[in-house]
Amino acid sequence: MNVLDSLIEGVREDLEARRIPMAKIVAQAAQAEPVRSPLLALTGSQMKVIGEVKRSSPSKGALAQIADPAALAISYEKAGVSVISVLTEKRKFGGSLADLDEVRTAVSIPILRKDFMVDEYQFFEARAHGADLVLLIVAALDSAQLLDFYQLAQGLGMQALVEVHSEDELERALDVSPSIVGVNSRNLKTLDVDSAVFASLIPRIPSEIVKVAESGIAGRKDVIFAQESGANAILVGETLVKGSDVSLTMRTLLGLE
């Protein structure tokens, strides 16, 4: 079993432990606050940043305590982050839906629920907890699931960040006509990082699609490389949560310091 398969197995087990009747979660999703537009937030001539509320990861272990996700989210918004990504996977990332709730109420910018979306229930759950954007990992889904889940997210008013790591995955991603594609330099099956993936895949994505460079963004040179490869946005977790000054880290990444 590779790393991704192991993570998904845990996600499914945890989902079964918290699942409520479908009719109830559907009703909760319908009553949620209106969606904030991730597309609007990630569009523009300047490099955009998706900042993550992320306590730990399978590759790096513990990153930060984050006792107050709301306070961190507020610091992100003040520093100029365009979208906040909240990890809700518990076992390896230390996240929760409670984190999503806290962040949603604390800021006015769009929120990404970052988790391994493998069940229809999770999409209604995401919307019920205020998510504006969900993650669809192409490596975790077959083509039929990818299309069904993409359409489900849209039907609930949300956008999907469709994540790829290879040419084959990119081809499958483009088949669903996505608005936002993330190119992850980390292979989720092995956890190996290769930033060359940015240069090989991002230029293949049509210009009308928002292109997000994910993983391995540690300093200004990484941002420049992603931007030169054609990225419109970067997703940053470890670098922001481990820094002592979010505003300074943001300015440094964006070349404003």
- Tell me which of 48, 52, 82, 185 is the catalytic residue: 52
Q: Which of 244, 240, 233 lies closest to 82, judged by CA?
A: 233
Q: pLDDT confidence of 227, banded at 50, 70, 90?
A: very high
- Domain boundaries, given as residue ranges, for the chain: 3-253
Question: Does residue 257 have a pLDDT over 80?
Answer: no
Q: Is 215 a catalytic residue?
A: yes
Where does the chain have alpha helices with state H?
A: 3-18, 22-30, 38-42, 69-79, 97-106, 120-128, 143-155, 167-174, 196-201, 220-229, 238-242, 246-253
**Cβ atoms of 158 and 127 closer than 8 Å:** yes
Predicted pLDDT of residue 189: 85
Q: Is 238 a catalytic residue?
A: no
Q: Which residues contact 83 (CB under 8 A, 6 or more apart)?
A: 38, 41, 42, 48, 49, 50, 51, 109, 110, 111, 112, 132, 133, 233
pLDDT tens-digit profile of 33-55?
Answer: 999 999 999 999 999 999 999 99
Q: Could you tell me what percent of the chain has a pLDDT over 70?
A: 100
This prediction's pTM:
0.96
- Tell me which of 54, 89, 169, 238 is the catalytic residue: 54
- Tell me which of 56, 184, 185, 229 is the catalytic residue: 184
- Say which CATH topology domain 3-253 has: TIM Barrel (3.20.20)
- Tell me which of 56, 82, 215, 232 is the catalytic residue: 215
Q: Is 211 a catalytic residue?
A: no
Distance CA 123, CA 125 (A): 5
Question: Does residue 195 have a pLDDT over 90?
Answer: yes
Q: Which of 50, 87, 76 lies closest to 210, judged by CA?
A: 50
pLDDT tens-digit profile of 74-111?
Answer: 999 999 999 999 999 999 999 999 999 999 999 999 99
Predicted pLDDT of residue 57: 87
Q: Is 16 a catalytic residue?
A: no
pLDDT tens-digit profile of 170-183?
Answer: 999 999 999 999 99
Question: Does residue 139 have a pLDDT over 90?
Answer: yes
- Tell me which of 77, 102, 163, 169 is the catalytic residue: 163
Q: Is 242 a catalytic residue?
A: no
What is the average pLDDT across 49-78?
93
- Tell me which of 214, 229, 232, 238 is the catalytic residue: 214
Q: Is 163 a catalytic residue?
A: yes
Q: Is 54 a catalytic residue?
A: yes
